[in-house]
Amino acid sequence: MTELLFKVRTLEEGLQLFRQHFDYEYFLSHRKEEIDLLCASRRVLAEDIISQENIPGFNRATMDGYAVKARDTFGASDSLPAYLEVKGEIKMSEKPDFPLPDGQAIRISTGGMLPEGADAVVMLEHTDQLSETLIEINKPVAPWENVLREDEDIKKNELILKKGQCLRPPDIGLLAAVGWDKVVVYRKLGIAIISTGNEIVPVNVKPKPAEVRDINSYALGAAVRETGSIPHYRGIVPDDEVILEGELRGCLENREIDLILISGGSSVGSRDYTLKVLNRLGPPGILVQGLALKPGKPTIVSLNQQKPIIGLPGHPVSALMVFENVIRRIINDLKGEIFPFAEQKTIEAILEKNVFSDAGREEYIRVVLEKRDGQLWAVPILGKSGMISSLARADGYITIGLNQEGLYQGQKVTVILF
């Protein structure tokens, strides 16, 4: 384990190490629950959905007009119309109890069920009513024109949604269409949030000199909720090895907690006890200590008793940037989504000034977006990682890659939006 402790990993190397050690199949197999479809939006399916029926289940008109046999309209035009006898009307929700004879038409509304023998609908505007029982058709229709066939939308035994899909409003509508009033999904993740440090005080307490309020519990909790997970606020833990170990063991034993976030206690020196505690909690222990990120280098990735524990920097900006780029990806993996690390919202802009970085690490630069003369500019916010105001003012951030030494004024950049 010693060789891992002081080797800084790239973000991708760190995530790969975690994925190699984590048993996703076992984890997900114990997280299934059945819920009502009304509560299923943004939940992740735990099983494939196969339709048990055809949808719409009958040949359905998609226009107001007349149900006909298409061949009876062939060749119809304004100068040489086709004439068909009208045999009544099909009302909505009514099942026709007679077949359609040759040379006849039946009035039908959008959504109505075609009678047996009919294979097209002539739009109302392409007809003229000559009498109660006779219409003139001035435009032909092809077979199945203006008709949704009984299995054209969904076929029986068709796979319509895959395990791992995060359900969106259209997916909920699809499930309702096939009569799925309950669905099996993965249980929401429970994520413990622990702030550590003797200098941390509750937000409702006036800090003394050298003390700071507990920003990270609130900021990380809000970020956790945005992922659709449930935050478990565990409070402030002082710099005490015994107390921290007791708190972490309590989280490991809690079946409602799937992931543990610790802010603070991840830097070398006075916080070494955090590392000792993590390696005592069960195998495999610490996988990564240090990621090639700025801000976020002192990040710890540990896995104990198949429960991830992530040590974040104590500075709020660093902690939130690590959440955006590391923890959010781990959360999406644990949710069982087939499209992990859901697409971030981005926008193209022009960089207002040069920004520089040391090669060998990813660096995240917060930016404000400004529109000038019809162009969008990204204005860097340069501030230390302890300045939460710099993150609150930012509209998003740009990334300087591992092998880049900077970005230059006037360069087009991709801004990842908060």
pLDDT in tens, 376-393: 999 999 766 567 787 888
Task: Give me the mean pLDDT over the 13-34 stretch.
Answer: 94
Domains and CATH numbers, the chain: 2-31+188-334 (3.40.980.10), 34-55+155-186 (3.90.105.10), 60-148 (2.170.190.11), 346-413 (2.40.340.10)
Within 10 Å of residue 153's Cβ, how many Cβ atoms?
17
Mean pLDDT of 272-290: 89
Give the separation between CA 343 and CA 325, rounded to whole angstroms: 12
Lowest mean pLDDT among 3-17, 133-147, 273-287, 368-382: 3-17
Whole-number Å distance between alpha carbons of 118 and 195:
70
- The full length of the chain comes to 418
Per-residue pLDDT tens for 80-112? 999 999 999 999 899 998 899 999 999 999 999
What is each CA distance from 359 to 313, 318, 380, 381, 406, in whole angstroms?
A: 21, 19, 19, 20, 8
Write down the mean pLDDT value for the chain.
Answer: 91
What does pTM read for this prediction?
A: 0.80
Residue 265: per-residue pLDDT: 63
Alpha carbon distance 279, 303 (integer Å): 9
Per-residue pLDDT at 35 exceeds 90: yes
Phi, psi of 221, deg, nearest 5: -60, -40
What is the Cα Rg of the chain in Å? 31
Decide if pLDDT at 269 tops 90: no
* Percent of the chain topping pLDDT 90: 79
Q: Is 140 left (phi over 0), alpha (psi -120 to 50) or beta?
A: beta
DSSP state of 41: T
CA distance 265 to 275: 9
Task: Provide the pLDDT confidence category of residue 4 given band limits of 50, 70 and 90.
Answer: very low
Indicate the pLDDT class of residue 223, thresholds 50, 70 and 90: very high
pLDDT at 234 over 70: yes
